[in-house]
Structure 1
């Protein structure tokens, strides 16, 4: 067959011999192989081949059949210092879907072939024909200062009837993009565009920004190395380089180290359908071979290549981040220094447990022994107290026996009194309760290790997949402010989470200091530490500090590659923090009956379980929302009952009978009011809030279920905290200067933090292309965006909230516990 082709060329060619010398033997062999593969020449047949010397910017109108084949020979001068693009435009004037025209462009080191009409496939294999095509030829490298290159356009078909076409080859004068200079062009699915960018001297990183005023049609922007072929069609643009879908905005950060030639192509392809960008789904074709009219899918696009930040900005960003949070360590040292100076000058005691002289201590001890004793004979001598402290090292568990002495008073009688004092709910052995609440810390530390390790492994895998495949639709970054460092695509989003870790560690150190001071007071048998103030149990505080540090670590892991499959990493320890804060508030006045660590973490695990289910199945699923709303309301009712009766009720087979009896005796028979007014007010408000949130979820069914669940936790925490502050002031207690400053400061910081949080720079609830419409430039030091500022402010606000919980009852440290009300 090849021999027949060779003879045919020499026998039938009408052009001069010089025309066949220029393409060379390789081009001739390629033409023969093309005919053999296409089946255009059977054994024993000959085809009329016409070769024409063609020129740029000239439109050639011609007809092709299975009996003839036309070759257009072009030549142009290529300069090493000047890059010009060459674009081939083809338009078929007659419909020939069964026998399309094959165009083969042969050039140095590359061959480009395409058929017209071009059939592009969409979702469900829907077919869209295009009669007008425009393709840009890749640029083979040249070592000489100036070189003449040849390329040929072969036109052939299997159609026995003549097919009319137009061919035009033109130069693309503005083929090289200039730094910080906007360039506009038009693209369509059959007419993709790409342009070249060369890194200037001294620039190692640039940001390619592509914008359009048109949301649809959906398009793809790609950054590819300088090589042939260039993948510039919808069905192959994802084969190489970095790429992302876009509607109005797109941005890719490109580093010089990834492109050995110090240059790259910016490729823009308009997709055949809009589903990838969240557009409407077109109808399904009735027949598998049905061709669908694509309509007008032309899009006007602007591209700008700008230098990215340099290493100095990275250093400034890191120093700024460290400086902010180290200043809190410095401020803490200054406050401690000020307290030490005031103590040394004799203005105030060093702590609530330290006094001027041992004699004063004995006098205060005797006075307290005389005034205390909420339930005789509960008075204890100093020797017995010291002996109890020494025995605290023994291994004793709360579940081994009931630590409340029922001989003195039955706990059902004590806990159901109309007016309770802290002394009524702080009767259990301190060493038992201390171990009980330390379990919170050890459990959350264990959970953190087992939770964090697979998370870190998973996000490393995500980042590796993004780097290897180049698919930037996997992660929902703010691409206009995503600064890479090493293998990380958005280092600034990780760095801004440092505050959670540093401030969490600082809070642990503050709690540790308080714990040490309290233990020293107990060793001295200080009666203020033994019998006054809110009982000091620091296990929950340690757990809160650990949770804050883990929130920073897991938020950083989430921001390695943020998407809907790993959003729970960012919210899991937020649920933990909200739950632990509510438990700590409740523990302050109810130390004996607070939930155990196992029960608390089991409930938090259930919350996280529903969070995952909501992310996966909750979007628009009515059945899920009905089930969740019912569970939410039932859980609210059960918790309300538990809080109202101080745990003195049982959930068993007789619970319905007892409920009916209470309703009959208290509401129907004598219509008496609630016995515990304050608790009833809190629980009624809590039920109103939670039932309203459940109704909102059932009606609106928000897409972001994890944030909805977090909003429920935060609303309940704020409600309980406001109730606690109001009841504290109503009970005649006061708020000292330090917690008051913390409350005001924290409220202001929370306000600013929420403002930046709701800016919404990206969202995984939409498609990646729609998410990029919310992207915005950096606003702080050219390094941090709005969400980074949210990280800064929210970590500071959480730290301030923890300090409020730690210090707001310091005014009670010298008040007997039988004078402190429970609410």
Structure 2
């Protein structure tokens, strides 16, 4: 009946000119309001009584309402343009076990706020929590007048036939506006959210809003919303607009003036009904969907402070600081290159005056611990048994000219008797570099150049989808406002454009610049070596470690790609893209080990295809570990078994220099070796040095496998990287020890690089383990580790890790490049292979 009358009234409004409120949508709202609150005849034929009261602020009203009556409280207050005061409505229901809830409707000039009491908030699995005490702050629409009188009404109604009692109190919030750098304390709960207004002062374009609490739980949400009505300040709607993040003890959001046309915003703090979003305990699963749970006391005391963020001058200083550090390495390299060129020109001048030597200089006797009998035995074995004579300069020149002709690029062996010589040479008790550098130089050069071209191809195909993905991540964060997607150090995350943490991206510039510098250094050495080869210089042809630069080029490219992918990861660091930050770290560790092995074993080093296939397997397991490795015992058992088997197979490969076969007779041959060497005569290993290295390597790797199986660390990618680094350090230490045992020395430049790199690595690891954020926990728990900037108010601890680790990696590459420079004048048949 009422709906028909309303419709007739609206139909008449279309024909008759009536006031604006009738001709607008307010007429329909008015009809619905009549239906809602009973201006019609009820089911029992009674008319609802409406009572309107002139109410005052800070007065508690105790009243009773039923389905037969409705109470309207009329308030008025003066709104000033220069002074903002909040208005807060607090309601207490004094009757427990209500038949029907109260409905409170607050009608303002530009907004309507409605809520029921008891307020039912839902948690995980749709669990329902009732709250009988509700407090809500009314939004404050801006006014253009200097002073204006505004009215608002609080309507109270219920459909319960029983008389229910309640308390209503409307009060002013005098501390509604936040001030810059002034801490403000308040208390919030799920049914009593709080929000405050902040106005950008003149000259401040960016601020950081920090909310802290001494209490870890209950879990809460902080939100930044534009000045508009309604304000979304409940657990079930706070994520609708603006920027928001969950928090326990710390929360911080950087806010820019350009995102808020009114030059002001609301800071909203909501306490959640449950703690699962912050890593708290999960309560029991509800037996019935309509079951009500005890909400308990979930009040939380919080502090909020709004501070100006850094200015544009600090951005410029940070960029100049970053560029200055790494460009100084370019300047130092340029100066050293100039000095080296002058020394080289002086040596050429002196050689043009003095007669040329007939051969390379013999190695200096520095007290080698290798026995003279072993050296004599090896040399005699080489001369008498295999008939390898020292080649003359003319024959070397002819060989080089022949190698420049058109040959197949395949990785074939150029030994005279390809099968017998391998078995004879590689199983000698003492090997020299000349024994393992017998393949055609041009073929080997092509073989190792493939490392560079393959990693360049991998980089392009790997990086393009990564860049596209992280741009999508950043767009989602900016559009949705959900700052739980990315694990930043929010206390030191400086935005620039669409990027939320520009400083974390900028600090990765060192990897790219130093990687490029290393490529330039390698290119210079490559050019100098090629010129020496072209002039048929004896030192380049017959002396020193064979110069193959393909792996060095690959290492420099990998360092540059590490910087690019680390920057991509820090666009939005989270659980799903952490492998972007570590993939090329595995590449770098693997390439460094291959380069160390290649120095003394250029003929038998792994091909690029085999090496990258193995590294692809490592990255594959890294992804599986991140996805399935958290507490999954089956995965850890499978990985540990594969890890141990791979260690054993690699040990056999290194010990026998590749002269073994994996076939059906492998078990019989193993048993035969155990019987003859261990049981029958208990002879020691033939290759003692190699055996010591491999035993230590197996001990380390088996220990790491046992640790992973027992502890099952959550960060599988870092665990896998630790395995690679431990093996690299072990092999590097073995190389240095064997180099010194062989009577070789480390030149001053290489020694300085080793010491400098070791010190830088130590400081770098210190900053790495500060742990400013971690995607292994919830976003709220990760924010508990956030810290302020420590350098120029722009860079945090992790940025310093980026600076130092890029320098340390560059230094490590220089160590590999220069550590055997002392052998450049030593004949290869006098350089030990170990």
Quick check: 2:190–2:273 contact (8 Å CA) kept in 1?
A: yes
Please give the residue correspondences for 1:259-408 in structure 2 after superposition, counting only pairs within 5 Å.
259-343=260-344, 346=346, 349=347, 356-357=351-352, 360-361=355-356, 363-364=358-359, 376=387, 378-394=389-405, 396-397=407-408, 399=410, 401-406=412-417
The corresponding residue for 1:34 is 33
- Partner SS for 2:832: coil
Quick check: 1:245–1:276 contact (8 Å CA) kept in 2?
A: yes
CA distance in 1, matches of 2:675, 2:502: 64
- Partner SS for 1:603: helix
Quick check: 1:96–1:117 contact (8 Å CA) kept in 2?
A: no
Q: Which residue of the other structure, out of 677, 680, 686, is the alignment partner of 1:669? A: 680
Please give the residue correspondences for 1:792-811 in structure 2 after superposition, counting only pairs within 5 Å.
792-811=803-822
Shift of 1:334: 1.3
CA distance in 1, matches of 2:267, 2:734: 59
- Partner SS for 2:178: coil
Shift of 1:5: 9.0
CA distance in 1, matches of 2:803, 2:233: 42
Q: Cα deviations across residues 444-466 of structure 1 (Å, max 9, x unaligned)?
A: 00000000000000000000000
- Partner SS for 1:361: coil
The corresponding residue for 1:578 is 589
- Partner SS for 1:502: helix
The corresponding residue for 2:10 is none
CA distance in 1, matches of 2:4, 2:165: 29
Shift of 1:343: 4.5
Please give the residue correspondences for 1:513-528 in structure 2 after superposition, counting only pairs within 5 Å.
513-528=524-539
**Distance change in 2, residues 1:170/1:818 (3 Å):** same
- Partner SS for 2:623: helix
Q: Cα deviations across residues 470-524 of structure 1 (Å, max 9, x unaligned)?
A: 0000000000000000000000000000000000000000000000111111111
Shift of 1:337: 2.1
Please give the residue correspondences for 1:79-118 in structure 2 after superposition, counting only pairs within 5 Å.
79-118=80-119
Please give the residue correspondences for 1:191-210 in structure 2 after superposition, counting only pairs within 5 Å.
191-210=192-211
CA distance in 2, matches of 1:127, 1:562: 34
Shift of 1:65: 0.4
User: Does residue 1:606 correspond to 2:617, yes or no?
Assistant: yes
CA distance in 2, matches of 1:481, 1:634: 45
The corresponding residue for 1:12 is none
CA distance in 2, matches of 1:292, 1:669: 76
Shift of 1:622: 0.5
Quick check: 2:106–2:153 contact (8 Å CA) kept in 1?
A: yes
Q: Which residue of the other structure, out of 560, 564, 581, is the alignment partner of 2:571? A: 560
Please give the residue correspondences for 1:716-731 in structure 2 after superposition, counting only pairs within 5 Å.
716-731=727-742
- Partner SS for 1:418: coil
The corresponding residue for 2:374 is none
Q: Cα deviations across residues 79-109 of structure 1 (Å, max 9, x unaligned)?
A: 0000000000001011245410000000011
Quick check: 2:3–2:31 contact (8 Å CA) kept in 1?
A: no
Q: Cα deviations across residues 721-752 of structure 1 (Å, max 9, x unaligned)?
A: 00100111011110000000000000000000
**Distance change in 2, residues 1:162/1:26 (3 Å):** farther
CA distance in 1, matches of 2:661, 2:632: 35
Q: Cα deviations across residues 293-319 of structure 1 (Å, max 9, x unaligned)?
A: 010100000000000000000000000
The corresponding residue for 1:479 is 490
User: Does residue 1:774 correspond to 2:785, yes or no?
Assistant: yes
**Distance change in 2, residues 1:570/1:763 (3 Å):** same
| TM-score of the superposed pair, with normalisation by structure 1 | 0.94
The corresponding residue for 2:141 is 140
CA distance in 2, matches of 1:667, 1:364: 45
Q: Cα deviations across residues 56-97 of structure 1 (Å, max 9, x unaligned)?
A: 000000011000000000000000000000000001011245
Q: Which residue of the other structure, out of 605, 627, 645, is the alignment partner of 1:616? A: 627
Quick check: 2:772–2:786 contact (8 Å CA) kept in 1?
A: yes
**Distance change in 2, residues 1:155/1:602 (3 Å):** same
| TM-score of the superposed pair, with normalisation by structure 2 | 0.93
Shift of 1:670: 1.1
The corresponding residue for 1:247 is 248
Please give the residue correspondences for 1:745-764 in structure 2 after superposition, counting only pairs within 5 Å.
745-764=756-775
CA distance in 1, matches of 2:419, 2:40: 111
CA distance in 1, matches of 2:241, 2:746: 64
**Distance change in 2, residues 1:73/1:392 (3 Å):** farther
- Partner SS for 1:62: strand
Which region of structure 1 is more displaced relative to structure 2, 91-100 or 184-193? 91-100
CA distance in 1, matches of 2:25, 2:412: 94
**Distance change in 2, residues 1:3/1:444 (3 Å):** closer
**Distance change in 2, residues 1:201/1:366 (3 Å):** closer
**Distance change in 2, residues 1:446/1:720 (3 Å):** same
Residue segments in structure 1 that go unaligned for 5+ positions in a row: 8-21
Shift of 1:404: 1.4
Shift of 1:385: 3.4
Query: How many residue pairs are counted as aligned between the two chains?
Result: 801
The corresponding residue for 2:12 is none
Give the superposed CA RMSD: 2.3
Quick check: 1:100–1:116 contact (8 Å CA) kept in 2?
A: yes
CA distance in 1, matches of 2:418, 2:646: 35
Quick check: 1:693–1:712 contact (8 Å CA) kept in 2?
A: yes
- Partner SS for 1:725: helix
- Partner SS for 2:134: strand
CA distance in 2, matches of 1:412, 1:474: 58
**Distance change in 2, residues 1:662/1:614 (3 Å):** same
Q: Cα deviations across residues 228-271 of structure 1 (Å, max 9, x unaligned)?
A: 00000000000000000000000000000000000000000000
CA distance in 1, matches of 2:609, 2:519: 22
CA distance in 2, matches of 1:767, 1:511: 45
Quick check: 2:271–2:298 contact (8 Å CA) kept in 1?
A: yes
Residue segments in structure 2 that go unaligned for 5+ positions in a row: 8-20, 364-378
Quick check: 2:362–2:825 contact (8 Å CA) kept in 1?
A: no
**Distance change in 2, residues 1:25/1:639 (3 Å):** closer
Shift of 1:379: 4.5
Shift of 1:363: 3.8
Quick check: 1:88–1:135 contact (8 Å CA) kept in 2?
A: yes
Q: Cα deviations across residues 766-799 of structure 1 (Å, max 9, x unaligned)?
A: 0000000000000000000000000000000000
- Partner SS for 1:164: strand
The corresponding residue for 1:69 is 70
Q: Cα deviations across residues 676-701 of structure 1 (Å, max 9, x unaligned)?
A: 10000000000000000000000000
The corresponding residue for 1:19 is none
Shift of 1:27: 8.0
CA distance in 2, matches of 1:398, 1:659: 36
The corresponding residue for 1:233 is 234
The corresponding residue for 1:628 is 639
- Partner SS for 1:726: helix
Quick check: 1:182–1:304 contact (8 Å CA) kept in 2?
A: yes
Q: Cα deviations across residues 382-423 of structure 1 (Å, max 9, x unaligned)?
A: 454344434445554464643112289621011001111111
Q: Cα deviations across residues 346-385 of structure 1 (Å, max 9, x unaligned)?
A: 4xx37xxx962276336447999xx999664555454543
Quick check: 1:189–1:272 contact (8 Å CA) kept in 2?
A: yes
CA distance in 2, matches of 1:639, 1:364: 38
**Distance change in 2, residues 1:548/1:40 (3 Å):** farther
User: Does residue 1:789 correspond to 2:783, yes or no?
Assistant: no
CA distance in 1, matches of 2:350, 2:718: 49
The corresponding residue for 1:17 is none
CA distance in 2, matches of 1:390, 1:572: 41
CA distance in 1, matches of 2:37, 2:445: 85
The corresponding residue for 2:150 is 149
The corresponding residue for 1:464 is 475
User: Does residue 1:511 correspond to 2:506, yes or no?
Assistant: no
- Partner SS for 1:410: helix
The corresponding residue for 2:124 is 123
CA distance in 2, matches of 1:199, 1:423: 74
Which region of structure 1 is more displaced relative to structure 2, 389-398 or 586-595? 389-398
